[in-house]
């Protein structure tokens, strides 16, 4: 029934193909991995909306017991192509024991490039529309700066919304970072993503999600909300303006990973340096306490957010300010979590840990240039990293009656803390993945045990068919497969890893990783198309291919991309 309905949905779209097209041009061979056809008569309007396409199964089915569908769009409808990506898919899937797991990787690994690269230019191909001569974004009233929107640019959406989240896009591109030296197209795609994120950070550093670049010619979208935000932002530039500290950390991470894998400093242009200075300005403003440490007087935070809503996690209390935070902690405030839910206590530990780590990495890159100015900036950045790290170890660790010292999820510097975890990255479970601690660190291991037990983590959800960490964003019956994938990447236990993979696989009947799954009825899920989650799955398989190949490959031989 699903296949039939999916076909019916495609009929009006296929009508857009010119009548002069040959019959062979109308056959969509879902099993092909060849380079997209350059058919001058093929009309992109014939491509189905992938948000609808992903809701239905498509043949050929995998040969495993789950018979998972092939969910890649027709080659002519894919948004980006790389021979190297196709090579990795072939090499990994041909070695895998489980044909269902292989099919899931085949669909998930190219999910970002197949479906979410909505605009990309290498800066020389003429794809960029003429840049506004006066404004960054039409109507913004802000004069254009030198170097703005020049060079490679990449606009990466996460799924069913024509907007880019800094966090999501960074994680979506993560599986391809190691391929950047093997394919100039991937190199330019990621370089373009860094350049585009630099523009976003400069434009509105307190915002989390952004509209298409003005040079793309793509339409803007409205989020349908009535938000009162300070600092104000330009709606033609910003999709949503929730201040999430991890968004800025992800901007740093995108460049740091690119440099790690390529050694390139090409992204370190004038716009990137300006974005770095902008990040430091936010850290300075958001490290200030609610009350002046000398006079004791209340002082207004630079960032406030209020939304007309009946959902408490969608807005900040106290007229958009949030709960009070103490001084002298060294920690940085975050108004929202990576789930886009409001924090309760603004010193959100996972984001602080990620920021501390990425600042340290950024400083190392700056020092590697040998320039005196870069050395001075590196010293400033290193100081921020050390202060945040010290603050986490002093204020972010609390005693647990069963597990001993553990990392708190959020604190306020007054002694209050929140013990929980959310599935979204960065999380406490993911602390080793971001490089803040080693996986065998005692405090982390204590924390990990706490987080994976229902009696000690209110958002560890377990039902008849599924289990995992969820969060308030979706509700109390839905766990996120992403949490199980992070659990795999932070485990050395073969049985634990196999059990997590089994749960993820069984919850992915449509051949893609969902945002969340009902723990009692996995057929009830949110988002059939969620490129970030698919990227995490791809990362997980590539991690196991190096670390524990015997668990997924026919031959226990390590595989590196």
Local confidence band at 43 (pLDDT 50, 70, 90 cut-offs): confident
Average pLDDT over residues 314-341: 97
* Burial of 328 (C-beta count, 10 Å sphere; 0-12/13-18/19+): exposed
* CA terminus-to-terminus distance, the chain: 39
Average pLDDT over residues 178-198: 98
Determine the 3-state secondary structure of 399 from DSSP.
strand
Per-residue model confidence (pLDDT) at position 540: 98
With a cut of 90, say whether residue 264 has pLDDT above it.
yes
Cα dist from 357 to 253, 254, 384, 431, whole Å = 9, 13, 10, 10
Helix 494-506 with 481-489: angle, nearest 10 deg:
160
Q: Quick one: residue 167, left, alpha or beta (phi over 0 = left, psi -120 to 50 = alpha)?
A: alpha
With a cut of 60, say whether residue 22 has pLDDT above it.
no
Q: Which residue has the higher pLDDT, 493 or 41?
A: 493
Size of the chain, expressed as the number of residues it contains: 561
Per-residue model confidence (pLDDT) at position 39: 54
Residue partners of 480: CB distance under 8 A and separation at least 6: 423, 424, 468, 469, 470, 471, 474, 515, 516, 517, 533
Cα–Cα distance measured from residue 173 to residue 370, given in angstroms and rounded to the nearest whole number: 29
Average pLDDT over residues 155-162: 93
pLDDT above 90: percentage of residues in the chain? 86
With a cut of 50, say whether residue 27 has pLDDT above it.
no
Per-residue model confidence (pLDDT) at position 541: 98
Per-residue model confidence (pLDDT) at position 18: 29
> What number of CA atoms fall less than 13 Å from residue 348's CA on the CB side?
31
With a cut of 50, say whether residue 544 has pLDDT above it.
yes
Cα–Cα distance measured from residue 390 to residue 411, given in angstroms and rounded to the nearest whole number: 14
With a cut of 90, say whether residue 463 has pLDDT above it.
yes
Range of lowest pLDDT (34-43, 47-56, 250-259, 304-313): 34-43
Beta carbons within 10 angstroms of residue 485's beta carbon: 27
Give yes or no for a cis peptide into 426 (omega within 30° of 0).
Answer: yes
Most confident of 7-16, 113-122, 130-139: 113-122
Q: Dump pLDDT digits (tens) for 481-497.
A: 999 999 999 999 999 99
Cα–Cα distance measured from residue 218 to residue 211, given in angstroms and rounded to the nearest whole number: 9
DSSP 467: E
| Average pLDDT score over the chain | 91
Per-residue model confidence (pLDDT) at position 38: 54
Per-residue model confidence (pLDDT) at position 44: 74
Q: Dump pLDDT digits (tens) for 198-213.
A: 999 999 999 999 999 9
Average pLDDT over residues 173-183: 98
pLDDT above 70: percentage of residues in the chain? 90
Q: Dump pLDDT digits (tens) for 404-451.
A: 999 999 999 999 999 999 999 999 999 999 999 999 999 999 999 999
Average pLDDT over residues 315-326: 97
With a cut of 50, say whether residue 472 has pLDDT above it.
yes
With a cut of 50, say whether residue 313 has pLDDT above it.
yes
Residue partners of 518: CB distance under 8 A and separation at least 6: 463, 466, 477, 478, 524, 525
Local confidence band at 134 (pLDDT 50, 70, 90 cut-offs): very low
């Amino acid at each position: 029934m699903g296949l039939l309905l999916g076909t019916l949905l495609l009929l009006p779209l296929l009508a857009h193909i010119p009548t002069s097209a040959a019959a062979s041009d109308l056959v969509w061979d879902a099993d092909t991995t060849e380079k997209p056809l350059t058919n001058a008569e093929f009309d992109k309007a014939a491509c189905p909306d992938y948000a609808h396409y992903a809701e239905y199964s498509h043949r050929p089915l995998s040969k495993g017991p789950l018979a998972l569908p092939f969910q890649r769009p027709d080659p002519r409808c894919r948004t980006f192509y790389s021979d190297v990506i196709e090579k990795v898919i072939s090499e990994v899937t041909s070695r895998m024991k489980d044909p269902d797991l292989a099919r899931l990787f085949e669909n998930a690994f190219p999910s970002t490039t197949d479906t979410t690269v909505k605009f990309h230019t290498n800066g020389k191909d003429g794809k960029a529309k003429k840049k506004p001569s006066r404004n960054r974004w039409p109507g913004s009233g802000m004069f254009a700066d030198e170097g703005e929107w020049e060079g490679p640019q990449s606009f990466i959406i996460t799924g069913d919304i024509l907007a880019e989240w800094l966090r999501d896009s960074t994680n979506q591109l993560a599986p391809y970072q190691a391929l950047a030296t093997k394919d100039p197209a991937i190199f330019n795609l990621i370089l373009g993503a860094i350049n585009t994120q630099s523009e976003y950070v400069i434009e509105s550093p307190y915002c989390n999600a952004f509209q298409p670049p003005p040079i793309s010619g793509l339409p803007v979208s409205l989020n349908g909300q009535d938000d009162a935000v300070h600092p104000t932002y330009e709606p033609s530039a910003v999709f949503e303006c929730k201040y999430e500290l991890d968004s800025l950390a992800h901007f740093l991470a995108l460049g740091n990973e690119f440099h790690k894998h390529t050694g390139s400093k090409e992204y370190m242009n004038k716009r990137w340096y300006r974005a770095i200075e902008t990040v430091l300005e936010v850290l300075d403003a958001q490290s200030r306490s609610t009350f002046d440490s000398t006079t004791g007087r209340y002082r207004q935070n630079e960032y406030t957010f209020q939304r007309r809503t009946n959902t408490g996690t969608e807005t900040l209390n106290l007229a958009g300010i949030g709960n009070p935070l103490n001084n002298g902690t060294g920690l940085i405030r975050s108004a929202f979590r990576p789930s886009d839910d409001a924090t309760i206590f603004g010193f959100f530990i996972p984001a602080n840990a990620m920021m501390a780590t990425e600042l340290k990495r950024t400083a190392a890159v700056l020092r590697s240039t040998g320039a005196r100015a870069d050395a001075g900036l590196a010293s400033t950045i290193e100081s921020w990293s050390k202060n945040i790290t010290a603050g986490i170890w002093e204020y972010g660790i609390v005693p647990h009656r069963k597990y001993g010292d553990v990392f708190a999820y959020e604190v306020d510097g007054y002694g209050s803390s929140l013990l929980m975890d959310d599935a979204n990255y960065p999380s406490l479970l993911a602390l080793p993945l971001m490089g803040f601690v080693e996986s065998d660190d005692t405090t982390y291991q204590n924390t990990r045990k706490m987080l994976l037990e229902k009696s000690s983590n209110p958002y560890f959800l377990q039902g008849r068919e599924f289990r995992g960490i969820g969060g308030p964003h979706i509700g109390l019956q839905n766990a996120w497969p992403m949490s199980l994938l992070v659990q795999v990447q932070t485990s050395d236990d073969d049985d634990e890893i196999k059990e997590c993979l089994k749960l993820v696989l069984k919850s992915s009947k449509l051949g893609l990783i969902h945002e969340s799954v009902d723990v009692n009825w996995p057929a009830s899920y949110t988002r059939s198309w969620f490129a970030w989650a698919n990227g995490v799955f791809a990362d997980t398989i590539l991690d196991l291919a190096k670390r524990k190949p015997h668990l997924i490959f026919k031959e226990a031989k390590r595989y590196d991309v």
